[in-house]
Amino acid sequence: MADKFKFTKTTIAALPAPLKARDTYYDTIVPKLAVLVTAKSKNFYVVKRAGREMVWLKLGTFPDMTVERAREEAEKALGEFAADNNPATTRRALKQELSLADFFDKEYGPRHGKKLVSWRTSQQHFRDYIKPSLGNKKLSAVERQQIARILSDLDKKGLSGSSVNKVRNLVSGMYRQAIEWGFAESNPATGIRGRKGVKRDRFIQADELPRFFAAVAEEENPDIRDYILLSLLSGARKGNVVEMRWEDIRLDDGIWRIPITKNDDPQNVTLAPEAIEILKSRQGNESEWVFPGTGKTGHLVEPKSGWKRVLDRDELNQLQAKIQAVGGAFDWPLKIAKPAAHKGRIYERVEDALIRARKVAADLEIDTNGSRLPDLRIHDLRRTLGSWQAKTGASLVVIGKSLNHKSTSTTAIYARLDLDPVRHAVNTATSAMLEAGGLKKTAEIKPLKKSNTAA
């Protein structure tokens, strides 16, 4: 049926349920009169621009409101528009309508967002990229070109294609829920093209493992150290590792059951012997969490600072060796002369020592290429386990099962796959990584002695 026709009781009643979220039709007698059809209702609206705002002014629901009455109310509202371009009914509608920020905080988050594994990332994306320019706008006032401008600006800033797509998908997802819940009538993100994302293939190489393990072993914060090692040895996602609960772990069976994953399916993670030893060493605390925290969640939330500290420490180790190789002098750890000025800290912070080491290396004209592990992220630990499984002969199906990858073509195979080959693949890959890293015994993945550096 055409989207414009003469409204009658018969033609409105005959309108079919929409194939998508909703369909909109306009009357040829009163062109600004629309009927919006969803799976559950047919509502009359006046659709009119008021200044910079596109207003959807609801008149009533068919058949409680007749076509004739809808036309009468539409003419009244349009007369008010003509008089002052902002009729009282429109002002009331705009005042009651939620802003994008209010919808995100009061509706989308509590009802939908907090259920998502990626909720923290969504909060950060909304806070940093969407809220500054669109947060105070009413839902109906957000336009496609405004969203497109935000995404274009992110492109210019060098944000990756996948990250730009996540921002676009967040806005689009918010409006899908807003439409479903009756807060919005259209999705301004519809029609905005996605960016071409470059899939990362970074994982820790064989020649990088010894220095990586050394830097992790020197980390004094046991939560950060164990978190990194368990992330590597289990291949689990960051959000699942920080939310690991003791009640979901069966150490005797070597199984960690994740009730909710990114794919919405529970996952049984097979634990290598080295991972089991780490977990056993953490037993004894009274928390329900493997990695307890002091914040609202009760568990470790964001290990970014600890991860950066490990990478800084590795670079510091490499620079110190290069400085000493040319006969230069660089002492680390360095005792601070006035600890009171450093909140009781006795030894120099890793980041401060790294700045000092870079300056010494520059003064000695040392080639520092390769001193820092290039572009290594926490999520690359997960990819590292999968890559080492492939290097040690595991099939793609087994790797997909161990990492809980979901694909329509292999779902049936995953459902029938036993954990034994997965366990073998994980254990083999773990042993190969540890051997490449110069660690042949389980106990060696723990620090052999306490470092003098401060956490």
Residues 148 and 170: their CA atoms lie apart, in Å, by 13
**Beta carbons of 413 and 405 less than 8 angstroms apart:** no
CATH number of domain containing 227: 1.10.443
400 and 281 within one domain: yes
Which pLDDT band, with edges at 50, 70 and 90, does 51 fall under? low
The domain in which residue 240 lies consists of 220-287+378-445
In a domain, 197, yes or no: no
| Helix runs in 40-199, H state only | 67-84, 88-96, 100-102, 109-111, 119-125, 131-134, 144-156, 161-180
Residue 353: the pLDDT is: 92
In a domain, 209, yes or no: no
Dihedral in degrees, nearest 10, Cα atoms 313, 318, 321, 322: -140
Residue 120: the pLDDT is: 80
Of 62, 79, 96, the last residue of a domain is 96
Residue 415: the pLDDT is: 44
In a domain, 208, yes or no: no
309 and 273 within one domain: no
Residue 425 has pLDDT above 70, yes or no: yes
Task: Give the chain's mean pLDDT.
Answer: 84
In a domain, 190, yes or no: no
Residue 199: the pLDDT is: 65
In a domain, 156, yes or no: yes
393 and 354 within one domain: no
**Beta carbons of 184 and 286 less than 8 angstroms apart:** no
Strand pairing category for 4-5 and 23-27:
parallel
62 and 41 within one domain: yes
% of the chain residues with pLDDT over 70: 85
> What are the pLDDT digits (tens) for 382-397?
888 888 888 888 887 7
In a domain, 344, yes or no: yes
CATH number of domain containing 39: 3.30.160.390
Residue 442 has pLDDT above 60, yes or no: no
| Tokens linked to 334 | 């360095």
b/e sequence 81-105, b meaning 16+ C-beta within 10 Å = beeeeebebbeebbeebbbbbbbbb
Query: How crowded is residue 62: how many other Cβ atoms within 10 Å of its Cβ?
Result: 20
What DSSP line would sit under 297-328, residue for residue? TSB----HHHHHHHHHHHHHHHHHHHHHHTT-
Longest CA–CA span in the chain (Å) reads: 94
Residue with more model confidence, 277 or 395: 277
Of 224-228, 319-323, 409-413, where does mean pLDDT reach its minimum?
409-413
34 and 156 within one domain: no
Residue with more model confidence, 262 or 103: 103
SS3 of residue 330 by DSSP? coil
Of 313, 338, 363, the last residue of a domain is 363
In a domain, 395, yes or no: yes
**Beta carbons of 245 and 236 less than 8 angstroms apart:** no
Residue with more model confidence, 200 or 101: 101
Which pLDDT band, with edges at 50, 70 and 90, does 412 fall under? very low
272 and 412 within one domain: yes
What's CA 210's distance to the chain center, in Å? Answer: 30
Number of domains in the chain: 4
